């Protein structure tokens, strides 16, 4: 402040001088004017001291004034203008910083501004601290990273990211669908769709029934069927059907956005595909993982680096031995054939299990054992557990480089899980169609039933003309099969059984095995820890794929079961703690440490694919299947999306509805689609062009480096060669590169 005060003081002095100069000039100009005026008016005694303008007084002693040519006059004008400008700037500076100078009326305002700026900076820093502290599980992940390296920790980072996405989905569905219905919707028991049917009432609260998400759980805000189709509810006139539809669409849109954002963030890290140019350099400079903080892991890392180097050296040294290409090709073909067989077999098994579960659904539930009830989910989970080991076995035939083998394995597991999912959906569609057929029958039956009831009722009151109004308890009304709730239930059951299977697998496969190896080692013939079975390694790819597919199921099911994101949040939360514990307690770091870097985008790519494939069935169901007539927020409509049209008609002014109707004109839609296709083509071409330009620049940089290098050795023949090459290149002709 003192220093700035000095500066300002000297500034002010300058300003004073300039201001005086400026005043001089104004005075001069004004006196010029006055003199002209003087000729016309009688002279007045002016109190201002008369100053001679030395410029105009011509004295004989003075040297002849040089003839004023254009240049000097212009220079003088310029000088004068510059001085004027400087004076104005200085005045402005002083007036603005009066407060900083500690004088004048701006002082308090300036001090206040400074204090607010400091407080704001402190607030921003505290907020950043708070945001960093809010990120959960940081210490856990750090512990895992230091013991297992960055690739295992990448699974947990992925889990945490998914947790964040699911949290947003949960907040959307909870606050905009479940909460309004719970607060302002009609309570349980007031409508047929909200009441457990009379036949099931007795067992509605049993644990077995609730675990299956039947009974009371089915007739609650957890599922689609509970919601009423009234256009507005509550004192706020909350439009529930519209909100249900829009939230469903928004969840899908948000998921797409967030996955694409994560993918584009990772693209920049790729750095262009120079895979083999810097093989050894990268091995030397980027193989040590600085995150490692555990001596055992460090040991493993040292060993794997040594192994890596030795392999690379042998590859470098060994000449290309002519292997028996035909044998290898045959073996690979055989392996792929087996894999196809496995995939086909698993698909058929699931289809068969779904068909059987439909048969079981028609039987009396009490005659079925636990296995029959959960058969389909068990079959899917077991297939997901055992087929990857089969694939691993088949991969032994193929004899690929381990990294390539890993990619093949991931691809096959992905195909397996995808196939399973789609067979499941096909079976589900089958069942939905059955239910829609059934619905038509039930509708016909209900009208008959109602007519009978009214007749019977009127008959019983034929003597008494005044009787209580016709009333049927909601539990007694015959119900249509609500296919949407059925779909929601299937997905919820699948998720729950998946969770249980995973946890049981971890407990048995990892924990019990570790206990066995640890404690029975003392009394066993061979060393259990180094030989078979030893401790399990953490299977990163298997776990990531399981996570991705579970998320796909959530995306598919959350339109029909708004509670699904909430259930998933619980699941991810417990998974985090459980798996962190299991990893630290029962697993050992991988002996062969693979780089997880490129795989991050690979996993996100799979997630995007699953997202796309999961939303397709949902959108198909929304657009082409008629909603049930007696359950859910869209009951009574022809198609679910008609709720938008209804809202436009009732809630928006008529001119808006007209405009939107014009916008959905097919001609306009086709034009928009054409424009989008053209835009995609143009952007693609631009990207390709830029990539090519990039490669070109890289090549030129290399040549330039070589040229500079060859300049050091003037006798080198390469110099002339490179110089010629360079000259022939267009880069030299550009004016900025001439030097």
List contacts with another protein (CB under 8 A).
125-126, 128-129, 132-133, 141-142, 145-146, 150, 269-272, 274, 277-295, 297-298, 302, 305-306, 309-310, 313, 316-317, 595-598, 702, 705-706, 708-709, 712
Nearer of residues 38 and 128 to another protein, judged by Cβ: 128
Spatial contact of 170 and 162, defined as CB atoms under 8 Å apart: no
- Nearest distance from C-beta of residue 139 to another protein, angstroms: 10
Nearer to another protein, 299 or 392 (CB): 299
Q: Residue ranges of the alpha helices (H) in 194-324? A: 207-211, 240-267, 279-286, 295-317
SS3 for 484-509, per residue? HHHHHHHHHHHHHHHHHHHHHHHHHH
Q: Do residues 254 and 247 make contact, with C-beta atoms less than 8 angstroms apart? A: no
Residues 6+ positions from 716 with CB-CB distance below 8 Å:
710
Dihedral sign from CA coordinates of 31, 33, 36, 39: negative
Contact 481, 442 (CB under 8 A): yes
Cβ atoms < 10 Å from Cβ of 221? 19
Least distance in Å: CB of 277 to another protein? 6
Shortest distance in whole angstroms from residue 729 CB to another protein? 18
**Measured from the CB of residue 66, what is the shortest distance to another protein in angstroms?**
50
Token readout for 345 is 């077999």
**Whose Cβ is closer to another protein: residue 73's or residue 283's?**
283
- Residue 106 per-residue DSSP state: T
Q: Which is nearer to another protein, 280 or 461 (CB)?
A: 280
Q: Can you give 335-353 as a three-state secondary structure string?
A: HHHHHHHHHHHHHHHHHHH
CA distances from residue 676 to 257, 399, 475, 564, 680 in whole angstroms, order as listed: 18, 46, 53, 35, 6
Min separation Cβ 271 and another protein, Å: 4
Q: 295 or 469, CB closer to another protein?
A: 295
Q: With respect to another protein, which residue has the nearer C-beta, 284 or 456?
A: 284
For another protein, give the closer residue by CB, 120 or 182: 120
Helix (H) / strand (E) containing 714: none
Backbone angles phi, psi at 473, to 5 degrees: -65, 135
CB contact set of 592 (below 8 Å; sequence gap of 6+): 304, 307, 402
Cα–Cα distance measured from residue 463 to residue 456, given in angstroms and rounded to the nearest whole number: 13
Question: Is 5 or 164 the residue whose CB approaches another protein more closely?
Answer: 164
User: By C-beta, is 6 or 315 nearer to another protein?
Assistant: 315
| Min CB(243)–another protein separation in Å | 38
Q: Report which DSSP code applies to 233.
A: B
Residues in the chain: 739
- In the block, tokens 């068909």 appear at 355
Pick from 433, 541, 423, 557: nearest CA to 494: 557
Angle at 189 between CA 183 and CA 195, to 5 degrees: 110
Residue 276 or 362: the one with the smaller Cβ distance to another protein is 276
297 or 342: CB nearest another protein: 297
Smallest distance from another protein to CB 136, Å: 14
215 phi-psi bin (left φ>0, alpha ψ -120 to 50, beta other): left
Virtual torsion, Cα 139, 141, 145, 147, nearest 10 deg: 70
Nearer to another protein, 184 or 602 (CB): 602
Nearest approach in angstroms of CB 410 to another protein is 18
Least distance between another protein and beta carbon 285 (Å): 6
**Min CB(409)–another protein separation in Å:** 21
Cβ-Cβ contacts under 8 Å for 292 (sequence gap 6 or more): 146, 149, 298, 301
User: Closest separation between CB of residue 541 and another protein, Å?
Assistant: 17
**Minimum separation from the CB atom of position 302 to another protein (A):** 5
CB of 537 to another protein, least distance (A): 20
Please state the closest distance from residue 648 (CB atom) to another protein, in A: 47
Question: By C-beta, is 14 or 269 nearer to another protein?
Answer: 269
Q: Which residue carries 């945001």 as its tokens?
A: 131
Q: How far is the CB of 117 from another protein (least distance, A)?
A: 17
584 near 144, Cβ under 8 Å? Answer: yes
Task: Identify which of residues 297 and 536 has a Cβ nearer to another protein in the complex.
Answer: 297
- Rounded CA separation 430/289 (Å): 52
d(CA 696, CA 71): 52
Nearer to another protein, 77 or 274 (CB): 274
CB of 487 closer than 8 Å to CB of 434: no
Dihedral angle, C-alpha 625, 630, 634, 640, nearest 10 ° = 10
List the Cα angle 603/605/608 in 5-degree steps: 110
């Amino acid at each position: 402040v003192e220093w700035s005060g000095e500066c300002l003081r000297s500034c002010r002095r300058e300003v004073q001088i300039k201001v005086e100069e400026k005043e001089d000039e104004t005075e001069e100009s004004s006196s010029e004017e006055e003199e002209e005026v003087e000729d016309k008016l009688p002279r007045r005694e002016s109190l201002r001291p008369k100053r001679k303008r030395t410029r105009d007084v011509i004295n004989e002693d003075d040297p002849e004034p040089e003839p004023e040519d254009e240049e000097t006059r212009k220079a003088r004008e310029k000088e004068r203008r510059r001085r004027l400008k400087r004076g104005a700037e200085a005045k402005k500076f002083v007036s603005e910083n009066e407060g900083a100078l500690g004088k004048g009326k701006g002082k308090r305002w300036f001090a206040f501004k400074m204090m607010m700026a400091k407080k704001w900076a402190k607030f921003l820093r505290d907020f950043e601290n708070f945001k960093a502290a809010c990120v959960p599980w940081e210490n856990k992940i750090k512990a895992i990273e230091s013991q297992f390296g960055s690739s295992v920790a990448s699974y947990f980072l992925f889990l945490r990211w998914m947790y964040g996405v699911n949290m947003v989905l949960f907040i959307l569905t909870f606050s905009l669908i479940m909460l309004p219905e719970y607060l302002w919707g009609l309570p349980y028991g007031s409508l047929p769709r909200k009441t457990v049917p009379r036949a099931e009432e007795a067992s509605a609260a049993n644990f077995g029934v609730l675990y299956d998400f039947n009974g009371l759980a089915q007739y609650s805000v957890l599922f689609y069927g509970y919601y009423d189709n009234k256009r507005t509810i509550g004192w706020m006139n909350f439009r529930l059907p519209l909100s249900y539809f829009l939230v469903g669409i928004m969840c899908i849109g948000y998921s797409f956005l967030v996955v694409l954002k994560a993918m584009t963030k990772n693209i920049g890290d790729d750095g262009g595909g120079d895979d083999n140019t810097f093989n050894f350099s990268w091995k030397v400079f980027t193989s040590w993982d600085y995150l490692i903080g555990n001596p055992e892991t460090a040991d493993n890392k040292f060993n794997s680096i040594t192994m890596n180097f030795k392999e690379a050296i042998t590859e470098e040294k060994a000449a290309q031995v002519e292997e028996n290409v035909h044998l290898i090709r045959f073996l690979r073909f055989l392996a792929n054939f087996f894999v196809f067989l496995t995939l086909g077999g698993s698909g058929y098994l699931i289809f068969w299990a779904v068909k059987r579960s439909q048969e079981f659904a028609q039987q009396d539930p009490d005659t079925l054992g636990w296995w029959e009830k959960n058969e389909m989910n068990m079959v899917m989970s077991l297939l997901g557990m055992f087929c990857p080991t089969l694939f691993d076995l088949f991969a032994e035939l193929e004899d690929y480089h381990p990294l390539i083998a890993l990619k093949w394995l991931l691809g096959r597991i992905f195909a397996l899980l995808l196939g399973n999912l789609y067979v499941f959906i096909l079976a589900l569609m089958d069942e939905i169609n059955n239910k829609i057929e059934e619905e038509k029958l039930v509708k016909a039956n209900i009208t008959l039933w109602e007519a009978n009831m009214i007749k019977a009722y009127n008959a019983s009151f034929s003597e008494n003309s005044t009787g209580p109004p016709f009333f049927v308890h909601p539990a007694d009304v015959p119900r249509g099969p609500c296919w949407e709730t059925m779909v929601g239930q299937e997905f919820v059951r699948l998720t729950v059984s998946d969770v249980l299977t995973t946890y049981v697998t971890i407990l048995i496969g990892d924990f019990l095995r570790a206990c066995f190896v640890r404690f029975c080692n003392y009394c066993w013939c061979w060393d259990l820890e180094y030989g078979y079975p030893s401790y399990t390694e953490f299977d990163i790819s298997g776990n990531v794929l399981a996570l991705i597919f579970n998320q796909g199921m959530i995306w598919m099911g959350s339109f029909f079961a708004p509670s699904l994101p909430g259930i998933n949040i619980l699941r991810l939360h417990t998974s985090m703690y459980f798996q962190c514990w299991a990893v630290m307690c029962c697993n050992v770091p991988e002996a062969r440490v693979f780089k997880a870097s490129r795989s991050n985008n690979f996993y996100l790519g799979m997630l995007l694919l699953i997202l796309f494939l999961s939303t397709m069935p949902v959108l198909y169901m929304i657009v082409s299947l008629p909603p049930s007539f007696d359950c859910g927020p869209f009951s009574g409509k022809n198609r679910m999306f008609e709720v938008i049209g209804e809202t436009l008609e009732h809630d928006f002014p008529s001119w808006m509805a007209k405009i939107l109707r014009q916008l959905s004109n097919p001609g306009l839609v086709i034009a928009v689609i054409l424009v989008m296709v053209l835009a995609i083509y143009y952007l693609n071409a631009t990207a390709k062009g830029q990539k090519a330009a990039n490669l070109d620049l890289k090549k030129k940089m290399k040549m330039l480096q070589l040229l500079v290098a060859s300049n050091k050795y003037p006798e080198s023949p390469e110099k002339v060669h490179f110089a010629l090459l360079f000259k022939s290149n267009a880069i030299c002709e550009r004016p900025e590169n001439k030097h």
